[in-house]
Chains A and B, each alone.
Chain A
Amino acid sequence: MTAGRRRVGGLVLSFVFALSACATDGAVALRHDDSHHDDSRHNGPPREDEARAPLPFALDAYPSTYKPLPRVDTLITHATVLDGAGNRLDDADLLLRDGKVVALGQKLSAPPGATVIDARGRWVTPGVVDIHSHLGDFAAPYVQPDWSHSDVNEVTDPNTAEVWAQHSIEVQDPQFSRALAGGVTTLQILPGSSNLFGGRTVVLKNVPATTVQAMKFPGAAQGLKMACGENPKYTYGDKGRFPSSRMGEIAGDRDAWLKAQHYEHEWLDYEQGHGHEPPQRDLKLDTLAGVLHGDIKVHIHCYRADDMATMIDMSHEFGFQITAFHHAVEAYKIPELLVQNHICAVVWSDWWGYKMEALDAIRENAAFVDAAGGCVTMHSDSAVIGQRLTVEAGKAAAAGRRAGLTLPPEHIIQWVTLNPARAMGLNDRIGSLAPGKNADVVIWSGDPFSIYTHADEVFIDGALIYDRKDPRHRPLDDFDLGQPAQEPRS
């Protein structure tokens, strides 16, 4: 450590800060999924030097400071419950205590002091999870200087694996509260798709806050946003730069992974006691080595089946797991390949035709991947769709039913709850109403897949964070203060 301190100067301060954050609240994203990784590499010779710098790949010097809002134990009664795990319970009760789901069943009794909400005729689901959002890093209003310099893409290099979406977030983005009105309790915010390696994602709780750290989901793994296909090649090809073709994109990716492999090995060698000084840190390679080491999940913007298959081969070549293909409009052409490789298809219900690689999008995409046993997740990528992801799921399911598939409400709710939660590695905490999970809950005015239905009440960690009928329980971001849209409803 002393050697490290001399060698890397100021950077070591962040090591120390990260370590202390890790020790105090466990809020640092460390490795979450080692399933594909050869752990034998970590079992090197015993360390003689306790002060060795830790592996830097997933250190978080900007950790969560999230604190739940004050909460009241709540019993929701007589609801139609879709539990997020594939079950439907009619006339059911749901008990929330100390911010957790405690029980789901019939004729539950309210503990002393609990609030009882009669949800007769209404539906209850887990909080909606939007796995692909740009709220905060593409904040409204979209003002003129941001047309060319928005905070969603760092468009200066095809590899910006070093940037973090977290550092672009405008917490007062008025779009957050509108998503909350659609029942969205958790969002993954991604960098844009201009680059091969767009940077790291961040998972947020949809709570009002004055810092991004206060929205950050404690302990959630970061993702790496990658992009294949049209966007990177047009972004850089138009500037006369590399890459200007799909084959250039793949070469650019492979070149970066080779460097990352070398960097990872340097650090693992050092960790195992070889050498006296830690390798020179490189923020780009930290992210990529974090992927190879299993600390960071891979989310790839990819439309076409052939592009996705190429990226899957690349993941085999370099030994990393792809978590999800986002947009994935041709996932229906290769569902078995996605299933075999444990990759989720993160999709819209009906977008098509706005670019060449979206030409073959069909409305049955989600349903066909689901029918093959694949993981399907709806996503927004849009502040408008992000207000009604359940309607997105309903539209996608309607197309599937018309094609002869059986897709009941209790099944398709998973497309916006448990499936995205699992893809983000958070299914032990959110995504279903299993006892012990976070009490992220939506009470809907009716069938959540109907266009006419509203989210009546939304809970995050057991706290009532949104009440459609009570302005005192509705977050109002600073930007919306005093604006005409907030005048009393007619």
Chain B
Amino acid sequence: MSARALLAALAMSVIGAAAHAETLVVTNARLWTAAQAQPVDNATIVIKDGKVFTVGIGIKAPAHARVIDAKGRLVTPGLMNAGTQLGLVEVSSVGDTTDQAVTSGPLGAAFDVEYALNPNSMLLPRARADGLTRAATYPSGSANAPFAGAAAVLRLSEGPDILDRAKAAMVVVTGGVAAAQHDGSRSAQWILLRNALSEAKRYAQVAKGGPRDQLLNHLDAEALLPVVGGHEPLAVFASRESDIREAVKVGDDFGVRVIVFGGQEAWRCAGLLARKHVAVVLDPLDDQPATFDQMGARLDNAAILDRAGVTIAFSVPGIQLSHNAGTGMREAAGIAVANGLPWAQAMKAMTVNPAHIWNIEDHYGALAPGLDADLVIWDGDPLEPGSAPTTVLVRGQPVSLTTRQDLLRERYAPGHRADAWPPAYRQ
């Protein structure tokens, strides 16, 4: 097997330098690194200082290393959900626990979610326990449509330091539903977007601020500078084919990297998206004509896009968006596979693909030397939503898999019914 040979060779080249302290080794793994079509058995992963040091077959655990025996279970990179509101939402219907949108005031493109992130959110242990180690978290609306503001990437490590990448993309919301909410036409969205990008370009060329004939305030204009400068992608929510094509044109006309979100009709322009290297973050469960913008929604969207060479990743809206960001995404990926997407491509859409889309592939995505050791040991196929991790590492650190829900489960498990009483009164 070529993947096996590759891994073995890789291991031989670096094993001599295997480390001493701060070393963790995962042995007896059925390993999928993100580079192969199929997992390989009997693999070992050596982790040093939070990074993958080496992966391979037949590696001996370095002396003094802490060893985790995977017992033949599947080991994969930690998963990444390409679109959540983790860190921004606690109880969805309770406004004082949610920070994903702003509806009045001066902030349009300048709205940025990075200052609201809550590392102690109840949702983060849930996401970790379901196999996520990274997540994009995006704003859903601002006071200046069509902009929603700047999204961020989280690493789901324990402790206060969960911001992986700030201002990871500028989010724009297009389409009939958004237009109707502003009593307008989707054409106005594109005019305003184009104007905003034009103004931002002009703004960059003006030495000093000051009064001028422009629609953007200085905050919004400054927020768009990295976008027009080509450093921050434009994440465009677009469902209808016409809007997806329009987003591609904006990218061409302004030299901006575009990511399509939603993309229910993306399969109808798969060739164009592949040629233009426009990635699509989609929900594989979305097969309903829920609005007139997605009359073409169907279950083989992911498979068609992948076959055409489009980079895809997943985000599942609704209740699964953040609260079940792990299982919701894995279930959706399984449905994509049930409808024609190869298993390894679905796994890539939860690892290396979102890493590329969100521009963190220099440190996350695959189990390859030098990258952060985000790793999951699974008790089954991750694409079956009933499967669960037995071990999760984020940057080489094992994290707790206990959620608040687990504590409720223990309290009310059959045979423990009096456990709402204080501990002294329990049997």
Which residues of chain B have C-beta atoms less than 8 A from A363's C-beta? 405, 409
Shortest distance from the beta carbon of A413 to any chain B beta carbon, whole Å: 15
Are A490 and B304 in contact (CB-based, < 8 A)? Answer: yes
Question: 1/0 per position for A429-456, CB-CB distance to B under 8 A?
Answer: 0000000000000000000011111100
Question: 1/0 per position for B397-427, CB-CB distance to A under 8 A?
Answer: 0000000010011001110010010000000
Are B289 and A353 in contact (CB-based, < 8 A)? Answer: no
Q: Is B91 an interface residue (CB 8 A)?
A: yes
Pick out which of these stretches binds chain B: A80-88, A137-145, A243-251, A258-266.
A137-145
Q: Is B298 an interface residue (CB 8 A)?
A: yes
Q: A360-B408, A362-B409, A368-B412 are in contact. List 16 more A-B contacts (CB 8 A).
A: A140-B289, A140-B290, A333-B420, A336-B417, A351-B319, A353-B123, A354-B93, A364-B409, A384-B286, A388-B335, A391-B331, A398-B388, A452-B337, A484-B265, A485-B287, A490-B304
Interface centre among A141, A399, A402, A403 (most CB of B within 10 A): A141
Q: How far is the CA of A257 from the CA of B153 in the complex (A)?
A: 54
Q: Is B268 an interface residue (CB 8 A)?
A: yes
Q: Is B122 an interface residue (CB 8 A)?
A: yes
Q: Given known contacts A141-B292, A350-B327, A452-B338, is B268 in contact with A484 (CB within 8 Å)? A: yes
Residue from the list B289, B323, B420 in contact with A485, Cβ < 8 A: B289
Q: Is A340 an interface residue (CB 8 A)?
A: no
Are B388 and A354 in contact (CB-based, < 8 A)? Answer: no
Are A490 and B303 in contact (CB-based, < 8 A)? Answer: yes
Residues in A442-490 with C-beta less than 8 Å from chain B: 449-454, 479-480, 483-485, 487, 489-490
Which residues of chain B have C-beta atoms less than 8 A from A398's C-beta? 385-388
Q: Is B334 an interface residue (CB 8 A)?
A: yes
Which residues of chain B have C-beta atoms less than 8 A from A333's C-beta? 412, 420
Shortest distance from the beta carbon of A288 to any chain B beta carbon, whole Å: 30
Residues in A217-232 with C-beta less than 8 Å from chain B: 230
Are B338 and A454 in contact (CB-based, < 8 A)? Answer: yes
The closest CB in chain A to the CB of B336 belongs to A451
Shortest distance from the beta carbon of B267 to any chain A beta carbon, whole Å: 8
Q: How far is the CA of A450 from the CA of B383 in the complex (A)?
A: 10
Are B300 and A489 in contact (CB-based, < 8 A)? Answer: yes
Q: Is A158 an interface residue (CB 8 A)?
A: no
Are A178 and B288 in contact (CB-based, < 8 A)? Answer: yes
Q: Is A395 an interface residue (CB 8 A)?
A: yes
Are A451 and B385 in contact (CB-based, < 8 A)? Answer: yes
Are A384 and B408 in contact (CB-based, < 8 A)? Answer: no
Are B265 and A361 in contact (CB-based, < 8 A)? Answer: no
Question: 1/0 per position for B82-101, CB-CB distance to A under 8 A?
Answer: 00000000111110000000
Q: List 27 A-B contacts (CB under 8 A).
A: A140-B288, A141-B290, A141-B291, A178-B288, A351-B323, A351-B324, A354-B91, A355-B92, A355-B94, A359-B91, A364-B409, A368-B414, A384-B318, A391-B331, A398-B388, A402-B388, A403-B413, A450-B384, A451-B331, A453-B338, A479-B289, A484-B241, A484-B295, A485-B295, A485-B297, A487-B296, A489-B300
Are A142 and B291 in contact (CB-based, < 8 A)? Answer: yes
Which residues of chain B have C-beta atoms less than 8 A from A452's C-beta? 334, 337-338, 383
Q: How far is the CA of A483 from the CA of B264 in the complex (A)?
A: 13
Which residues of chain A have C-beta atoms less than 8 A from B414's C-beta? 368, 371-372, 405
The closest CB in chain B to the CB of A353 belongs to B323
Question: 1/0 per position for A130-149, CB-CB distance to B under 8 A?
Answer: 00000000001111100000
Q: Is B285 an interface residue (CB 8 A)?
A: yes
Q: Given known contacts A140-B288, A354-B319, A394-B386, is B409 in contact with A403 (CB within 8 Å)? A: yes
Residue from the list B287, B297, B323, B412 in contact with A352, Cβ < 8 A: B323
Q: How far is the CA of A174 from the CA of B334 in the complex (A)?
A: 23
Residues in A163-184 with C-beta less than 8 Å from chain B: 174-175, 178
Q: Is B207 an interface residue (CB 8 A)?
A: no
Are A485 and B298 in contact (CB-based, < 8 A)? Answer: yes
The closest CB in chain A to the CB of B337 belongs to A452
Which residues of chain A have C-beta atoms less than 8 A from B267's C-beta? 490
Q: Is B1 an interface residue (CB 8 A)?
A: no
Are A142 and B338 in contact (CB-based, < 8 A)? Answer: no
Q: Is A1 an interface residue (CB 8 A)?
A: no
Q: Is A95 an interface residue (CB 8 A)?
A: no
The 3 A-B pairs with the shortest beta carbon distances in the complex, nearest first, are A398-B386, A451-B334, A484-B296
Which residues of chain B have C-beta atoms less than 8 A from A489's C-beta? 300
Which residues of chain B have C-beta atoms less than 8 A from A143's C-beta? 291-292
Q: Is B180 an interface residue (CB 8 A)?
A: yes
Are A451 and B323 in contact (CB-based, < 8 A)? Answer: no
Which residues of chain A have C-beta atoms less than 8 A from B412's C-beta? 332-333, 362, 368
Q: Is A383 an interface residue (CB 8 A)?
A: yes
Which residues of chain A have C-beta atoms less than 8 A from B334's C-beta? 451-452
Which residues of chain A have C-beta atoms less than 8 A from B383's C-beta? 451-452
The closest CB in chain B to the CB of A489 belongs to B300
Q: How far is the CA of A405 from the CA of B417 in the complex (A)?
A: 16
Which residues of chain B have C-beta atoms less than 8 A from A292's C-beta? none
Q: How far is the CA of A361 from the CA of B91 in the complex (A)?
A: 12
Which residues of chain A have C-beta atoms less than 8 A from B303's C-beta? 490
The closest CB in chain A to the CB of B379 belongs to A402
Q: Is A214 an interface residue (CB 8 A)?
A: no
Which residues of chain B have C-beta atoms less than 8 A from A141's C-beta? 289-292, 295
Question: 1/0 per position for B349-363, CB-CB distance to A under 8 A?
Answer: 000000000000000
The closest CB in chain A to the CB of B420 belongs to A333
Q: How far is the CA of A479 from the CA of B383 in the complex (A)?
A: 33
Question: 1/0 per position for B213-255, CB-CB distance to A under 8 A?
Answer: 0000000000000000000000000000100000000000000
The closest CB in chain B to the CB of A349 belongs to B385
Q: Is A117 an interface residue (CB 8 A)?
A: no
Interface centre among B285, B295, B387 (most CB of A within 10 A): B295
Are B331 and A178 in contact (CB-based, < 8 A)? Answer: no
Q: How far is the CA of A388 from the CA of B331 in the complex (A)?
A: 11
Q: How far is the CA of A171 from the CA of B46 in the complex (A)?
A: 59
The closest CB in chain A to the CB of B330 belongs to A451
Question: 1/0 per position for A373-406, CB-CB distance to B under 8 A?
Answer: 0000000001110011001001101110011010
Shortest distance from the beta carbon of A119 to any chain B beta carbon, whole Å: 19
Shortest distance from the beta carbon of A287 to any chain B beta carbon, whole Å: 29
Which residues of chain B have C-beta atoms less than 8 A from A351's C-beta? 319, 323-324
Q: Is A114 an interface residue (CB 8 A)?
A: no
Which residues of chain B have C-beta atoms less than 8 A from A309's C-beta? none
Are A384 and B268 in contact (CB-based, < 8 A)? Answer: no
Are A356 and B93 in contact (CB-based, < 8 A)? Answer: yes
The closest CB in chain B to the CB of A350 belongs to B324
Shortest distance from the beta carbon of A391 to any chain B beta carbon, whole Å: 7
Are B338 and A384 in contact (CB-based, < 8 A)? Answer: no
Are B337 and A142 in contact (CB-based, < 8 A)? Answer: no
Shortest distance from the beta carbon of A117 to any chain B beta carbon, whole Å: 22
Question: 1/0 per position for A322-343, CB-CB distance to B under 8 A?
Answer: 0000000000110010000000
Residues in B53-72 with C-beta less than 8 Å from chain A: none
Residues in B241-280 with C-beta less than 8 Å from chain A: 241, 265, 267-268
Shortest distance from the beta carbon of B340 to any chain A beta carbon, whole Å: 8
The closest CB in chain B to the CB of A453 belongs to B338
Which residues of chain A have C-beta atoms less than 8 A from B304's C-beta? 490
Are A356 and B94 in contact (CB-based, < 8 A)? Answer: yes
Are A451 and B384 in contact (CB-based, < 8 A)? Answer: yes
Shortest distance from the beta carbon of A309 to any chain B beta carbon, whole Å: 13
Which residues of chain B have C-beta atoms less than 8 A from A387's C-beta? 287
The closest CB in chain A to the CB of B122 belongs to A353
